[in-house]
Amino acid sequence: MPEFSNQNVIRLGFEDNKLGFIGENITITDEVAFEGKHALAWQLNVTPNDMQYEGAGQNAINSMTLEVPASQEEKYLGLSFWSQCPINDTGLIPTCYVESYKNGTWENIGSFNIGANNYWTSVSFKLPVDIDKIRLVALGITEVGKLYLDDIGIGASIGKYCYLQGTSMSAALVSGEVAMLSRLFPNEELAKIRDRVIGGVNHIDAAPVSSGGRVDMKRAVENPYAVMHKLIRGDNGNIKIIGQFFGINPGTIGLNGEAIDVMAWTDTEITAKYTGDFTGLGEFSLTRYDGETTSQLLMVENKAYSFIKHTPMPIALSHMAVAYMIIRFM
């Protein structure tokens, strides 16, 4: 993948928020990103049902062109994409074709399916030598869609690593992270090492994990996001949020989008005034003094019926717990 390539000719991560004209309806966005905070958002217009791929260089409604410095060495193209292109009953499959340009002629070098996948996928292609341009052409678009692109790279190698999904890969990675953090922080208790793992992430939208992102070892070591463990509600309208990495200076906190008055703030405990009547899983948004923000779901209980005591658990399990409570106490 391009992020691991050496001797890169091109590497575009779009973090500088700069983009020359490479095609219509293409902008830099912070809606989603494979790495960092920005990616390309390419709005794909509907293509006629009878418009098929007839070969490299054809006129296209949806196309993107990148200039490539000429090179006699063998190169590879890699990119990561997230597709939001609906598939309907026409039988057409949204497809992105990859073309290279040399000596006045376009050549097809491959393609990839861009039917709605709702997760990041990486692809790579071997390029002909001494090419001038690369073009992406999207066809089979039956409804207006969007294609996000990130980490577009051209290099001498696609590297020895690739991105895989699944708990089999992530368990080994996180276990290794725990071992390294334990070596770096030998005096910290395991609970705090765990919080470094949870807070040491690169936040991504719609992440199906309780940490809200991918492992970021540098952040885990230097500046983990705040991690909220639990909420304790008192009889006097006060609530306490217990956790780690809140910072020693006061920040702000909110519940379901509404600000809560902070009364006391330490690195591991926040006391706030809350007189509302909300109960259930609430989304707490915590912004530290340094501006870093994180959001988590915490159970807000009515003090008179505090029949649940829990440690942090993934959001899906929290929802299951709520469902159980409803059934058990009806």
The per-residue DSSP string of 266-304 comes to -SSEEEEE------EEEEEEEE-TTS-EEEEEEEE--GG
pLDDT value for 309: 39
Instruction: Kindly report the number of other CB atoms within 10 A of residue 250's CB atom.
Output: 15
Whole-angstrom distance, CA of residue 127 vs CA of residue 114 = 21
Task: Pick the range with the lowest mean pLDDT from 72-76, 170-174, 316-320.
Answer: 316-320
pLDDT value for 50: 67
pLDDT value for 8: 65
List the one residue out of 297, 283, 285, 288 whose CA is nearest residue 268.
288
Mean pLDDT for all residues in the chain: 82
pLDDT at 27 over 70: yes
Residues 233-248 have pLDDT tens digits of 887 788 999 999 999 9
Structural tokens at position 166: 């699944």
Secondary structure element (H or E) that encloses residue 96, with its range: strand 95-102
pLDDT value for 316: 46
The full length of the chain comes to 330
pLDDT at 303 over 90: no
Across 111-139, average pLDDT: 88
pLDDT value for 162: 63
Classify residue 40 as exposed, middle or buried by CB count within 10 Å of its CB (0-12, 13-18, 19+).
buried
Which residue bears the tokens 């909110």? 254
Q: Are the beta carbons of 92 and 49 closer than 8 angstroms?
A: yes
Q: Which residues of 132-143 are buried (b: 16+ CB within 10 A; e: fewer)?
A: eebbbbbbbbbe
Residues 289-300 have pLDDT tens digits of 999 998 888 888
Across 192-206, average pLDDT: 85
Q: Identify the CATH number of the domain defined by range 227-328.
A: 2.60.40.10
Secondary structure element (H or E) that encloses residue 251, with its range: none
What pLDDT band is residue 21 in, cutting at 50, 70 and 90? Answer: confident
Across 74-100, average pLDDT: 86
Name the residue ranges covered by the structural domains of the chain: 2-155, 169-200+215-222, 227-328
| Superfamily of the domain at 2-155 | Galactose-binding domain-like (2.60.120.260)
List the one residue out of 58, 77, 66, 73 whose CA is nearest residue 42.
66
The predicted model scores a pTM of 0.58
pLDDT at 330 over 50: no
Q: With pLDDT > 90 as the criterion, what percentage of the chain qualifies?
A: 40
Cβ-proximal residues to 104 (8 Å cutoff; 6+ apart), any chain: none
Whole-angstrom distance, CA of residue 235 vs CA of residue 100 = 69
Structural tokens at position 247: 């910072």
Across 168-196, average pLDDT: 92
List the one residue out of 3, 133, 151 whose CA is nearest residue 80.
151
Across 94-108, average pLDDT: 93
